Amino acid sequence: MKRESLPTLQELEKHKQVIPEIHPAAVIAMLEIKQAGEEIQESILSVLQRQYHLSEGKFCTLIVLHQHPEGITPSALAEKVGVARATISTMLQRLVRSGEATVEARAEDGRGKRVRLTAKGRAFMQEVLPPHYLRVSKLMEKLTQAEQEELIHLLRKLAGA
């Protein structure tokens, strides 16, 4: 849902009179990035929720597990997903209960744990990921290859990566 609450260039110019360091184009650019991100995320997530009953957190967790077929520690998983360990613990309990993941003692020392997708979890991701990546690709077709590469460059630069 597009919001109409973005300030205009003229409104920002008025604020610049009070605080000269304000850069109106920078403010508008950031707000447009935020709004576009929210709209894109909503369009992608709504399909995942509707078709597969996936929350954003569960989807991100499944993607990281899919990327680590050898397994990953719960703490590393929490870090990669960007959530607290307690949140991952709850998520893992649900994934184990649904049969999509296993949590096992690490073979090296038996003290740590390693999380892996089960065959059911891998099959689910093989069903979900191709159409998901197709939806993302279709969405990005609005930009040329060069524009996509420039956008990647600019967003990484903005994020400081």
**DSSP secondary structure string, 31-52?**
HHHHHHHHHHHHHHHHHHHHHH
pLDDT of 6-24, one tens digit each?
A: 888 888 888 888 898 989 9
Instruction: Tell me whether residue 42 is in a domain.
Output: yes
Q: Is residue 109 scored above 80 in pLDDT?
A: no
What is the distance between the alpha carbons of residues 19 and 23, in angstroms, rounded to a whole number? 10
Instruction: Tell me whether residue 21 is in a domain.
Output: yes
Coil/strand/helix, residue 105: strand
- Report how many domains make up the chain: 1
Rounded to a whole number, what is the distance in angstroms from the first to the last CA of the chain? 30
Instruction: Tell me whether residue 34 is in a domain.
Output: yes
Instruction: Tell me whether residue 119 is in a domain.
Output: no
Instruction: Tell me whether residue 118 is in a domain.
Output: no
Instruction: Tell me whether residue 48 is in a domain.
Output: yes
Task: State the residue range of the domain holding 29.
Answer: 1-53
Q: What is the pLDDT of residue 8?
A: 84
108 versus 55: the higher-pLDDT residue is 55
Asked if 28 and 7 count as a contact pair (C-beta separation under 8 A), the reply is yes
Q: Is residue 4 scored above 80 in pLDDT?
A: no
Q: Is residue 2 scored above 90 in pLDDT?
A: no
Q: What is the pLDDT of residue 9?
A: 83
Instruction: Tell me whether residue 31 is in a domain.
Output: yes
What is the distance between the alpha carbons of residues 82 and 80, in angstroms, rounded to a whole number? 5
What is the distance between the alpha carbons of residues 88 and 58, in angstroms, rounded to a whole number? 9
Instruction: Tell me whether residue 84 is in a domain.
Output: no
Q: Is residue 54 scored above 70 in pLDDT?
A: yes
